[in-house]
Amino acid sequence: MEGAAFLGKLVSFPLTDFQCLNTFTSGVESMDKFIRGDFRLSVENHYCQAYAVKLEDEIVAIFALSFDSLDLDSDDKEELQSGFSSTSSPDVDFDYQETFYAKPRYPAMDIAYLAIQEKWRGKHIGDFLIKQIADLARRQTLAGCQFLTVEALATKEYSAVGFYERCGFAPNEVKKPYKDTLRMYMTLYSKDEVFDD
């Protein structure tokens, strides 16, 4: 399909039949191993809700979401307030700012998992899905939600950190050599409204 016109034809739906993932290949060995093993168990044990993304009859991506909380230290809060963070400053009423920045943690939705079928990588499906997930987080009415969070894969084999940075996420920690992910976060309600169409 030409250009990004096909993005509007992508359909996301809750994933209940994990058999359809038997031929799904992201091209990253650790991700594919997880897809064929613990992914289903994570959903069945209420850790996350899984979704598949189809284009016509083909699954082109999968993702999973769960509720989370985000702890921000004083440096993170200062960067957010000053606009120096790589994520946008939260759109908080002036009268609420002092209360907002005094909170020890913030409600968030976690992207527990996101993978694009290898042959579909490089076609902006990931960017499109981040926008869709952010919109879903804003529209949900079950709980408050100020941020998106993710444990971005960061291994020698593959790193998703650059992708999430391009989507507006900021690191929430210093990369640890013993950990194969980097915790990152993104503001959902920003002064800049990154995701406005």
Tokens of 169: 């996420």
pLDDT band for 3, please (50, 70, 90 cuts).
low
pLDDT digits (tens, 9 = 90+) for 161-188: 999 999 999 999 888 888 899 999 999 9
At residue 193, the pLDDT reads 55
Q: What would the DSSP string read from start to end of 88-156?
A: PPB---GGGHHHHHH-SEEEEEEEEEEEE-GGGTTSSHHHHHHHHHHHHHHH--SS---EEEEEEEB-S
Tokens of 167: 């989507």
pLDDT digits (tens, 9 = 90+) for 41-69: 999 999 999 999 999 989 999 999 999 99
Asked whether residue 190 carries a pLDDT value surpassing 80, the answer given is yes
Q: Which of 137, 80, 69, 79 is nearest to 104 (CA)?
A: 69
Alpha-carbon distance values, 159 to 9, 30, 153, 155 (Å): 28, 12, 5, 6
At residue 46, the pLDDT reads 95
Structural domains in the chain, sorted by start: 5-187 (3.40.630.30)
